[in-house]
């Protein structure tokens, strides 16, 4: 029972984090790269990071080994996100997209896009790592709830400012879709607090 | 405070945002502001209903223990209604009871679904002698976010008695006054009054010890087995005044450890035990008459656990006033040093012809000189206590 509660708490807590993180990531990529951030890859990166951290924590490995595995995980997740966003035409397990990615000359805007995608991939990875390491005490959950609501508020305010002051409308349905899951998962996270 | 969104100022700002969002036709922002405000109002209403049907009970697996031992505290919370609630449970624990390893405090939270129970388990370690109160459990119950908790204090508090630490003692003989010298089976003289049982007759034994009725019943000769000619009776007297005057709490604890250990040792030898003290015993008697019942030792240890370093009378007065002393009793008197109170008690024991040994807490140098004044041998605690190597 206690283990089940732990799993449910982990899922609810993780879901809360993922909603506002994805809302921001999708807003940034939609407004700058003009492509939505891939949701399955975002969830996969987040969960892989959390799972890897949880598994490695109990194994008693050397710091350098843990660091190496984490870097490997980040590279894998980032490669998948970059592939999904830019090289969908090639098969993922082929050399083609990798040769294209490494050999291609980019203008500054393309470099900026790549850097933003990689930073967002890193954010999702770090989000997963910190989720696995964070305490699941009641006040921690509450502070994450506050952070999530504030993140949503800031995102929507930025969208409003862009529209009112700059006349730029970012067509990004993610915040609207993710608000409800966030507010449904938040009380569940509190319900399963141990 | 569990969230910043229940602060009135923040709620006002969210209200302003709602107004701006409505003004600019921003559906997302309107929805978010409405959700935040709706949740705070809903949580407030939810919280009002949360306390009904909540039950709580606390138990411990043992009420009496020695320092260093641990007990398990279980607190059950039950939600006997359909509305799920958030529960935070905290149990105040007095004094020298602390959480066992891995825990920082006796506080826990959980959510309770409809008709669900939760059990909070904590380990408590006793560090010092005394009587401590565990609880009553303090509950906070509220909406699922825990934004507006309502408090309830349960009635049931638990008292935990921590006995004095038992220390190893060197072999220590008590002064005795017996009719037949060495008591028990070793004695060459048997007390013919108290028959303990029978055994098969040995031909080396006198014929007058044959139990004829038992022999007839068993159809073979049975001889009587006698009780010891005289049972040892030990009165433990604890003089508290000097400890109180000097505020010598550590010495007082050491003394009580030796008293408790001597009581256990004497009980194991089959002695009858009694205790008298002039200290304040909270919730218990300051005099325990001599007795041999199985409850005698726990009673003595409990009095020692409850004993405060606060004198309420002169020990000699207490002895004169309240104690009935059986014949053949020995006494071990514990005090910090040799003062007027100790001399008065010594006079009393001398008058009653009770062989007494005096245990003092102060150094041996002071014991030797004034021993004759007390009419008995004066020992330092260090002389009978085996010093344990301190754990690293």
CATH number of this structure's domain B233-384, picked from the four choices 3.40.718.10, 3.30.300.20, 1.10.260.40, 3.40.50.410: 3.40.50.410
Considering only CB atoms, which chain A residues are within 8 Å of B113? Answer: 191
Report which of residues A144 and B313 the model is more confident about: A144
**Pick from B4, B5, B88: CB nearest A138:** B88
Q: Which domain holds residue A27?
A: 2-191
pLDDT at B368 over 60: no
The rounded percent of chain B whose pLDDT value lies above 70 is: 87
pLDDT of residue B187: 56
**Pick from A145, A149, A191: CB nearest B111:** A191
**DSSP H or E stretch at residue B199:** strand B195-200
The count of C-alpha atoms lying within 13 angstroms of the C-alpha of B255, restricted to the half-sphere facing its C-beta, is 29
pLDDT tens-digit readout, B29-70? 999 999 999 999 999 999 998 888 888 888 888 889 999 888
Q: For the structural domain made of B54-162, what CATH number should be given?
A: 2.60.40.10
The rounded percent of chain A whose pLDDT value lies above 70 is: 98
pLDDT tens-digit readout, A173-194? 888 888 899 999 988 887 777 5
From B259, B237, B378, B246, select the one nearest B309 (Cα to Cα). B246
Q: Please tell me the distance from the alpha carbon of residue B257 to that of residue B116, in angstroms, as a whole number.
A: 46
Whether B225 has its CB under 8 Å from any CB of chain A: the answer is no
Considering only CB atoms, which chain A residues are within 8 Å of B79? Answer: none
Q: Please tell me the distance from the alpha carbon of residue B351 to that of residue B345, in angstroms, as a whole number.
A: 10
* Residue B365 confidence class, pLDDT cut points 50, 70, 90: very low
**Between chains, do B109 and A183 touch, taking CB under 8 Å as contact?**
no
pLDDT tens-digit readout, B343-363? 888 888 888 888 888 888 865
**Between chains, do A175 and B28 touch, taking CB under 8 Å as contact?**
yes
Tally helices (H) and strands (E) across chain A. 7, 0
**Pick from B4, B31, B111: CB nearest A192:** B111
Range in A1-5, A21-25, B263-267, B350-354 the model is least confident about:
A1-5
Average pLDDT over residues B323-341: 79
Average pLDDT over residues A37-49: 93
**Pick from B26, B35, B144: CB nearest A187:** B144
Residue B147 CB partners (closer than 8 Å, separation 6+): B2, B3, B5, B6, B40, B43, B44, B47
Considering only CB atoms, which chain B residues are within 8 Å of A142? Answer: 2-3, 145-146
* Residue B374 confidence class, pLDDT cut points 50, 70, 90: low
Report which of residues A101 and B195 the model is more confident about: A101
Q: Please tell me the distance from the alpha carbon of residue B95 to that of residue B69, in angstroms, as a whole number.
A: 15
Report which of residues B351 and A55 the model is more confident about: A55
Interface confidence: ipTM more than 0.90: no
* Residue B375 confidence class, pLDDT cut points 50, 70, 90: low
Whether B104 has its CB under 8 Å from any CB of chain A: the answer is no
* Residue B185 confidence class, pLDDT cut points 50, 70, 90: low
Distances (CA, A) of B210 to B5, B183, B197, B199, B223: 93, 21, 12, 10, 4
pLDDT tens-digit readout, B73-90? 888 889 888 888 988 888
pLDDT of residue B104: 62
pLDDT at A7 over 50: yes
* Residue B392 confidence class, pLDDT cut points 50, 70, 90: very low
Whether B169 has its CB under 8 Å from any CB of chain A: the answer is no
Whether B366 has its CB under 8 Å from any CB of chain A: the answer is no
Average model confidence (pLDDT) across chain B: 82
* Residue B391 confidence class, pLDDT cut points 50, 70, 90: very low
Report which of residues B194 and B345 the model is more confident about: B345
**Between chains, do B29 and A192 touch, taking CB under 8 Å as contact?**
no
pLDDT of residue B110: 83
Chain A: closest CA distance from residue B97 (Å): 23
Whether B39 has its CB under 8 Å from any CB of chain A: the answer is yes
Whether B36 has its CB under 8 Å from any CB of chain A: the answer is yes
Chain A: closest CA distance from residue B29 (Å): 6
Considering only CB atoms, which chain A residues are within 8 Å of B4? Answer: 146
pLDDT of residue B326: 72
Q: How many CB pairs under 8 A join A and B?
A: 77
Angle at alpha carbon of residue B167, lines to B162 and B173, rounded to 5°: 125
pLDDT of residue B366: 53
**Pick from B29, B111, B143: CB nearest A156:** B29
Query: Which neighbouring-strand residues pair with B71?
Result: B124
Chain A: closest CA distance from residue B112 (Å): 7
Report the chain A residue with the minimal C-alpha distance to residue B34. A179
Whether B107 has its CB under 8 Å from any CB of chain A: the answer is no
Residue B9 CB partners (closer than 8 Å, separation 6+): none
Range in A135-139, B93-97, B116-120, B370-374 the model is least confident about:
B370-374
pLDDT at A95 over 90: no
Range in A30-39, B266-275, B311-320, B321-330 the model is least confident about:
B321-330
pLDDT at B324 over 50: yes
């Amino acid at each position: 029972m206690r283990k089940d509660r732990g799993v449910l708490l982990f899922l609810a807590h993780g879901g809360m984090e993922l909603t506002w993180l994805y809302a921001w990531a999708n807003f940034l990529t939609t407004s700058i790269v003009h492509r939505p951030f891939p949701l399955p890859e975002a969830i996969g990166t987040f969960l892989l990071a959390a799972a890897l951290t949880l598994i490695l924590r109990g194994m008693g490995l050397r710091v350098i080994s843990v660091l190496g595995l984490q870097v490997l995980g980040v590279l894998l997740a980032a490669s998948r996100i970059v592939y999904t966003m830019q090289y969908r035409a090639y098969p993922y397990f082929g050399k083609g997209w990798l040769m294209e990615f490494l050999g291609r000359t980019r203008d500054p805007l393309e470099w900026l896009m790549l850097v933003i995608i990689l930073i967002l991939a890193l954010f999702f990875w770090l989000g997963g790592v910190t989720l696995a390491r964070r305490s699941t005490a009641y006040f921690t959950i509450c502070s994450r709830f506050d952070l999530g609501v504030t993140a949503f508020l800031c995102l929507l305010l930025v969208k409003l400012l862009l529209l009112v002051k700059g006349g730029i409308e970012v067509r990004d349905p993610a915040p609207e879709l993710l608000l409800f899951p966030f507010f449904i998962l938040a009380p569940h996270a509190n319900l399963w607090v141990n | 405070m569990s969230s910043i969104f229940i602060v009135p100022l923040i709620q006002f700002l969210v209200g302003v945002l709602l107004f701006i969002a409505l003004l600019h036709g921003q559906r997302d922002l309107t929805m978010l502001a409405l959700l935040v405000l709706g949740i705070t109002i809903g949580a407030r209403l939810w919280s009002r209903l949360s306390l009904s049907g909540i039950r709580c009970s606390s138990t411990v697996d043992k009420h009496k223990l020695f320092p260093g031992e641990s007990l398990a505290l279980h607190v059950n919370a039950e939600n006997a209604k359909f509305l799920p609630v958030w529960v935070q449970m905290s149990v105040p624990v007095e004094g020298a009871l602390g959480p066992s390893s891995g825990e920082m405090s006796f506080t826990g939270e959980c959510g309770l679904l409809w008709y669900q129970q939760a059990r909070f388990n904590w380990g408590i370690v006793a560090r010092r002698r005394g009587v401590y109160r565990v609880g009553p459990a303090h509950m906070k119950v509220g909406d699922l976010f825990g934004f507006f908790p309502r408090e309830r204090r349960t009635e049931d508090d638990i008292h935990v008695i921590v006995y004095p630490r038992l220390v190893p003692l060197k072999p220590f003989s008590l002064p005795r006054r017996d009719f037949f010298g060495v008591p028990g089976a070793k004695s060459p003289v048997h007390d013919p009054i108290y028959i303990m049982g029978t055994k098969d007759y040995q031909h080396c034994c006198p014929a007058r010890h044959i139990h004829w009725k038992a022999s007839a019943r068993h159809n073979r000769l049975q001889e009587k087995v006698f009780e010891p000619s005289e049972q040892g009776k030990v009165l433990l007297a604890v003089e508290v005044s000097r400890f109180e005057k000097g505020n010598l709490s550590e010495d007082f604890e050491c003394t009580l450890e030796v008293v408790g250990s001597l009581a256990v040792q004497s009980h194991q030898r089959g002695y009858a035990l009694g205790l008298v003290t002039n200290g304040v015993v909270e919730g218990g008697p300051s005099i325990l008459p001599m007795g041999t019942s199985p409850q005698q030792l726990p009673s003595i240890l409990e009095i020692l656990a409850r004993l405060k370093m606060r004198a309420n009378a002169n020990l000699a007065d207490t002895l004169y006033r309240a104690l009935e002393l059986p014949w053949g009793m020995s006494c071990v008197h514990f005090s910090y040093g040799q003062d007027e109170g100790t001399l008065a008690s010594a006079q009393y024991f001398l008058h009653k012809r009770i062989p007494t040994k005096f245990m003092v807490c102060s150094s041996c140098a002071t014991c030797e000189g004034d021993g004759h004044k007390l009419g008995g041998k004066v020992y330092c605690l260090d002389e009978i206590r085996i010093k344990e190597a301190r754990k690293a």
